[in-house]
Structure 1
Amino acid sequence: MSSTGKLHGCRVLVIEDEYFLANDIEEALKSHGARIIGPYAELEAACRRAEQDHFDVAVVDVNLRNKKAWPVADELVRQGIPFIFCTGYNATVIPERFADVSVWQKPIDVLKIVEDIELLCRMEHDDGRR
């Protein structure tokens, strides 16, 4: 498969309140074939979207305009939707219940995130959720 299509058909929810980072993540994922839902910068809007479950994986910023994104993460766990965290904080701020979630420290390498999202999408599609 070509590098431009490794995420073909993967629907990715992007929750990030830093405009330029959200844009970089969106563009990197799109360039590899992903369909982007979002980005969402407000916790309430992100929660409403997460409840709709029309995506395969998610990228979740831990802090959305001074509100922790734990309600979104809890909803994703409830639905069995894989996701990664992005944060400028130390990983120790992540509650223990999310111990199995990958944590990307800002500043991030968006091309490395593409690889992580590709693995999550592949696992999601192999599980037959699609």
Structure 2
Amino acid sequence: MYRLAEELMRKGVPIVFATGVDGAVLPPGFSGVPRLEKPLLIDDLLRVVARLVADPGGGGP
């Protein structure tokens, strides 16, 4: 289920999850991946993407 996210992370591509499920549902390997809850607010998405562009390895929630 998370194979694409794992592959992107392996290649060093920053990712963010946009989900309607609780963060506790995500596997432990994704604990440092930023997660936005639906419904998304565009300002929150832009903030996270800007942070990932500035520091691709930093991520963080």
Q: TM-score, normalised by structure 1?
A: 0.41
Which has the larger Rg?
1
Letter in 2 for 1:108: L
| Structure 2: unaligned runs, 5 residues or longer | 57-61
| Structure 1: unaligned runs, 5 residues or longer | 1-67, 125-130
Q: In structure 1, which of residues 86, 108, 117 is the aligned counterpart of residue 40 of structure 2?
A: 108
More strand by share: 1
Please state whether the residue corresponding to 1:86 is helix, strand or coil.
Answer: strand
Bigger relative contact order (CA 8 A; separation at least 6): 2
How many Å separate the matches in 2 of 1:100 and 1:123?
13
Q: TM-score, normalised by structure 2?
A: 0.82
Runs ≥4 residues deviating over 2 A: none
User: What percentage of residue pairs aligned between the two structures are identical?
Assistant: 29
Partner residue, 2:24: 92
